[in-house]
């Protein structure tokens, strides 16, 4: 079974959207999306610098737009048995599964980005990845420092979130058995209580949505469960901004479902990297540029004969 995955915030790099805009019709689609959400996606995806696209209100719509462009270049969702997204990537996944229209996905993620940016402005917060170490040992150490294990990603990676003072304390005092602590390119302590104000904002925005039930298995990073209804998907999208991401449980679900291959949407690399360590032997393709589409097509053809 092929699984499609969509990356989350921090995967963006300056200029990453540039080659995708050369695909037929892509520039026009992005221009229309930009007008609809009042954000120049083409500018931020091509010429803006790292600091500009680190802004939560910019990064999140940009990532969903890139995911949707690369997903459409793959063709019909019928080749895939399941879909999942990491953090904001869940909105991309919801659109690919038919839960949300592209227009609704972009509108919703714009509201999400603005709401989370506003919540992040209250207190100076951030996130850092802890690489290596036993999960329980790392989590206990984070909690001792007042940090939240905001992303439990599996494959020896847990992302801590909290105030910048707490992040600095973690960098000075790594958990036992861990190799290093790496600061992430995000502008807030996402998936923690610091994001609670954004939940109310998203709940209000969700009232305008008319979600359909997923057309393929939708794996939620709240708990790794397969979600059957569109209403449940949207409810989880709302609450998830203040709850930890359990990507480790998503990968366990992929294994239980019999995953035979994984394709990661643009800007790919992070989730396939985790899968190579946690789902050993499962082939994967990360879509970084349109040049990777041929490799993805080959994997799809091989696994859907």
CATH class of 124-184: alpha beta
> Which residues share a beta bridge with 131?
157, 180
Q: What is the pLDDT of residue 173?
A: 95
Active site residues: 87, 191
- Measured CA to CA, the distance from residue 286 to residue 263 in angstroms comes to 6
Return all residues near 194 (Cβ < 8 A) that are at least 6 apart.
119, 120, 122, 123, 125, 161, 162, 188
Provide the 10 A C-beta neighbour count for residue 25.
9
Contacts of 189 (CB under 8 A, 6+ apart): 120, 125, 126, 127, 148, 150, 161, 162, 163, 195
**CB 17 within 8 Å of CB 26:** no
- State mean pLDDT over 70-97: 96
**Tens digits of residue pLDDT in 172-209:** 999 999 999 998 878 789 999 999 999 999 999 999 99
Using DSSP bridges, classify how beta strands 125-132 and 261-264 pair: parallel, antiparallel or unpaired.
Answer: unpaired
Average pLDDT, stretch 65-91? 95
Task: Write down the pLDDT at residue 46.
Answer: 98
State the average pLDDT over residues 134-150.
Answer: 95
pTM: 0.94
Please provide the CATH number assigned to the domain covering 2-121+192-304.
3.40.366.10
pLDDT at 155 over 90: no
Domain spans of the chain, in order of start? 2-121+192-304, 124-184
- Beta strand 226-227 pairing with 217-219: antiparallel
16 in Cβ contact with 59 (< 8 Å) = no
Q: Kindly state the percentage of the chain with pLDDT values over 90.
A: 94
When pLDDT is cut at 50, 70 and 90, the band that residue 305 belongs to is: low
């Amino acid at each position: 079974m092929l699984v499609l995955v969509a990356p989350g915030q921090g995967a963006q790099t300056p200029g990453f959207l540039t080659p995708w805009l050369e695909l037929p019709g892509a520039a026009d689609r992005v221009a229309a999306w930009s007008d609809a959400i009042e954000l120049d996606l083409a500018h931020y995806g091509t010429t803006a610098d790292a600091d500009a696209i680190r802004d939560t209100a910019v990064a999140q719509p940009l990532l969903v737009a890139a995911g949707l462009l690369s997903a459409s270049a793959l063709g019909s969702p019928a080749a895939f048995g399941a879909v999942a997204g990491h953090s904001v990537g869940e909105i991309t996944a919801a659109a690919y599964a038919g839960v949300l229209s592209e227009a609704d996905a972009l509108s919703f993620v714009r509201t999400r980005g603005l709401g989370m940016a506003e919540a992040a402005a209250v207190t100076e917060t951030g996130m850092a990845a802890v690489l290596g170490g036993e999960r329980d040992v790392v989590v206990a150490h984070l909690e001792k420092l007042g940090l939240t294990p905001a992303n439990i990603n599996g494959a020896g990676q847990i992302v801590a979130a909290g105030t910048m003072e707490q992040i600095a304390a973690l960098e000075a005092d790594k958990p036992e058995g861990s190799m290093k602590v790496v600061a992430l390119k995000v502008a807030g302590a996402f998936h923690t209580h610091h994001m609670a104000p954004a939940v109310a904002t998203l709940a209000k925005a969700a009232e305008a949505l008319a979600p359909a039930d997923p057309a393929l298995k939708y794996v939620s990073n709240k708990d790794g469960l397969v979600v059957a209804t569109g209403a449940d998907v949207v409810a989880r999208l709302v609450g998830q901004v203040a709850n930890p991401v359990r990507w480790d449980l998503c990968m366990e679900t992929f294994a239980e479902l019999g995953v035979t291959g994984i394709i990661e949407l643009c800007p790919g690399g992070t989730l396939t990297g985790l899968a190579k360590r946690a789902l050993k032997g499962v082939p994967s393709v990360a879509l970084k540029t349109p040049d990777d589409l041929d490799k993805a097509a080959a994997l799809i053809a091989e696994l859907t004969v």
